[in-house]
Amino acid sequence: MRSAKQIPLGSPLNLISVEEYLKLEQDGEIRHEYVAGQIYAMTGSSREHNLIATNLISLLRPHLRGGVCRAFVSDMKVEIQTSSQRADFFYYPDVVVTCDPQDRERYFLTSPCLVIEILSPSTQATDKREKRINYQTISSLQEYVLISQDEIKVEVYRRDKNNNWTVETLGKNDDLQLDSVGLTLTMADIYEDVFSL
């Protein structure tokens, strides 16, 4: 994920509604993430970040072609509702997959099965804590994957049959098994043109 900067909104009582946020995102040139009424502007990403995202989408797209699953890159938001009445969060993951035919909103997804974030120094704390906790509230989500851009390291958070989350850390000699979409990636696949393996 790209690094985020908070846009000053004044006092804590001056929060933006979901409707205002969605209109801002549709009409604006700068992307923002929405966190409980506050918005955070998204900034650019590194060369390594872009290469990893491109590698992932170039492998996911042909694998999913012809089926019900769809893969999206960083311009597609994911809505997270922590209550049944309203959305509290909208994030822009680096790569997201939905396999739900009913997940048809034009500008955001509601039922992802796979979310992948590429870590950077400015975002990794948020990706590992806040976003992980919030993403894991989505009932359709099966895997949340964090990929380092500075070293060959991948963390996979996976929902088990009992609805508990496990974590697996992968290194240079491991493969990334994406059970949610039935695809196995090597580290050479993920880090092509980033690191020599």
CB 99 within 8 A of CB 82: no
Host domain of residue 136: 45-79+91-190
- Split into its structural domains, the chain has a count of 1
**pLDDT tens digits, one per residue of 69-114:** 999 999 999 999 876 666 789 999 999 999 999 999 999 999 999 9
Q: 168 — alpha (psi -120 to 50), left (phi > 0) or beta? A: beta
Within-domain flag for 84: no
Within-domain flag for 1: no
Within-domain flag for 5: no
CB 157 within 8 A of CB 19: no
pLDDT of amino acid 81: 87
Within-domain flag for 23: no
Residues in the chain with pLDDT < 70?
Answer: 1-14, 83-86
Within-domain flag for 73: yes
What pTM did the predictor assign?
Answer: 0.89
Within-domain flag for 111: yes
pLDDT of amino acid 6: 46
